[in-house]
């Protein structure tokens, strides 16, 4: 009967790494999104902003009239 020699420091570090890996996997499942999902969302957001901007009507600054809401300087 020979006893197995165990390095307690290595066993402790191995257990800590295992626990950290399990915690990381749990966090990825709860909080994580894949790179493809992030890219898809970014492209969808850009497309919707582009479509929104296409419908915008621009005002021409030279046709602005007094009283259009712009501040005027009056000197008395």
Could you report the per-residue pLDDT of 46-59, keeping only the tens digit for each? 999 999 988 888 88
Question: According to the model, what pLDDT value does residue 47 have?
Answer: 95
Question: Domain ranges in the chain?
Answer: 8-59
* pLDDT at position 59: 81
Regarding pTM above 0.85, the answer is no
- How does DSSP assign 12-48, residue by residue? HHHHHHHHHHHHHHHHHHHH---HHHHHHHHHHHHHH
Q: What pLDDT is recorded for position 30?
A: 83
For residues 66 and 72, is the Cβ–Cβ distance under 8 A?
Answer: yes
At residue 62, does pLDDT exceed 80? no
pLDDT value at 16 more than 60: yes
Q: Are 69 and 75 in contact (CB under 8 A)?
A: no
pLDDT of res. 45: 95
Provide CB contacts within 8 A for 70, sequence distance 6+.
64
């Amino acid at each position: 009967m020979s006893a197995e020699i165990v390095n307690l420091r290595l066993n402790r570090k191995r257990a800590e790494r295992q626990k950290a890996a399990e915690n990381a996997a749990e966090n990825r499942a709860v909080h994580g999104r894949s790179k493809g999902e992030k890219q898809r969302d970014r492209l969808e957001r850009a497309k919707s902003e582009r479509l929104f901007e296409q419908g915008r009507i621009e005002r021409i600054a030279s046709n602005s009239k007094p009283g259009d809401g712009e501040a005027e300087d009056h000197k008395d």
